[in-house]
Structure 1
């Protein structure tokens, strides 16, 4: 029988505190639900709407494999270009090639904005319907990536009606070919105010009513490409207000490297994702999104791996370096603009996870077993370790058998550690 311990406060104090903080508790739970626990793609591939076909993902994979065959035909050559450690050369190269053969594109955005330009209404109407038909066809033949959707035009006055009409045509046509895919993603570009986000929420509500969809079915990504999206006229962080104005529909914040850099007066030669202006914007995005369940994505490089082998190698080294840099800063997603970027996207992601695998797996195993090690990990760190392993598993950097063997944990158990709250 346990011995009673002395206390001084009456039980009513606890009741009064609960009542006092109940509104705060509810607001925190609503605004900061935590990570959704779903897969986050490692990249988003942008393809102009008039160039998209049902075979685009497979075509990108084939072109990426051809680039490897021509410019880095074996593991040693590829590792030498990127500066990979000798012990990672073979596993990275083997897994990259397997990824390009199995699932070359994780997330595809059919672009009706900058990559598409301004067209006659009848032409964009046809391309919007065509994009939906082809995406449905790709789903039917098993060629669609896990995530796909469109980037519409923004909600600024000159193109607002055009953007809304394209979204309407795309969703209506897609739904005519079966249920909406689970991995459907919609991107709203050039957002400058929380009011535009609220307007997008109202628009999606109307789409759901018109199409007979359940309320809340449609979410969207907010593209951060303007200075006003980071800092409003009153000096507050606009992006934080945008997230909460989305009323739970925001799925991601995507940094627009070139529009944002240009808005700040950065010259073309220095418009890169590692510019200090870019670092500041993404840091604000990251803090604003923390705990909300909204994922942050880095932007892209416009240096394409084309031409002779030396030129391709230079572009590969740049893309690999920028991707590794982003991963170290916890930006687990970025844009890829050319099939030649796929080898270095996956090489960077896979090497990042393979290098950290042993340490992360051992630490999580010790934490799960409650055994001592050289690091004293807390629940928050255990969540980070588990999330690291899950991201590696999702993209193909890590294999399920090796993770279970090293940690002694099933994927389901690792998922439990990745969620907030106590693990039972």
Structure 2
């Protein structure tokens, strides 16, 4: 493994690890705040128990996310010094504001965790809301920085120099809204299905059903609403990519030839040397319509992109198909759940419904990982789209492969530790919160 591939692999590993914890850190506080609100309004002690259990999970994920996020910040400077030298002054503002949001989140979380029976009950609840809002803002600001890499703005690039820098314009670039919206909904869907799936599994096992049923309902509502809205944000993102990064869109769809009435490709195995896709389902005109709202619109193919500027087609295409496929799975479960709540409430007592949520437990996070693969691999060979190549930004220092192996070991160990802590937390729910041994699952 050469140093360039090692540097890219280390960033991919760090980002892939951190994105899970950042999604949970953005979303779980809202679950916690809703449960806390129900406790304050109804006095039902079960909601207090759910809130306290979730708050411990939020603390675990916050600590892990803070560590992995700090590592990412150092890696940007250590692995990509040329990039940070030029890009830092341009897109540094969202990172600075993200730091502020992070500190607010940390302070609010401290107040929340240690504020039980010490603060006014509504002020205590409000600190939990602040944890969620600041975490969401923090995520949006980081995505704005990444969006700038896909859609550079806020400067003039003249003779290799970055002039007339405008940090505000850089932060609110053409890609930030579509990426932030898509990422936020993805975080809610991924976290919601993961949390709902865990509680659904515990209900099926007959463990403290009343507790897990209330927790399941809150998480399932967040998950299903986000899953229904996600295709709309995906449509916005696709149209934005078609306009700003036609090479990425072509790689996503394995679209080799520029043509009108371009077909949408479902599945398939790209044959890059022969510029074709085998075993795919093709829907005529749909790609043109989805990209430009016109079935006869021309969609740029990879034939109009220099070979040295083309993204890796197979990886981008497969990742995109995985993301869309898992998104459709979650959408189908969401629609079924809404039908259940609206017309078929007797299905709420059926085990098959809970089993569907258990099946979908990892779906959201797998989709998130696939989506970030599309975003990052689809931009290659550019670290700043159309301005700076990734190969030109990597550190000249040797030995990066050893750093990659070391960090891989650290992240695997950390993942195992966090998994063990969460497993123990779930198993000890009854002991921690003194649940009644005769809990009966109500309708949810």
TM-score by length of 1: 0.25
Q: Higher helix fraction: Structure 1 or Structure 2?
A: 2
Structure showing greater relative contact order (alpha-carbon pairs closer than 8 Å, 6 or more residues apart): 2
TM-score by length of 2: 0.24
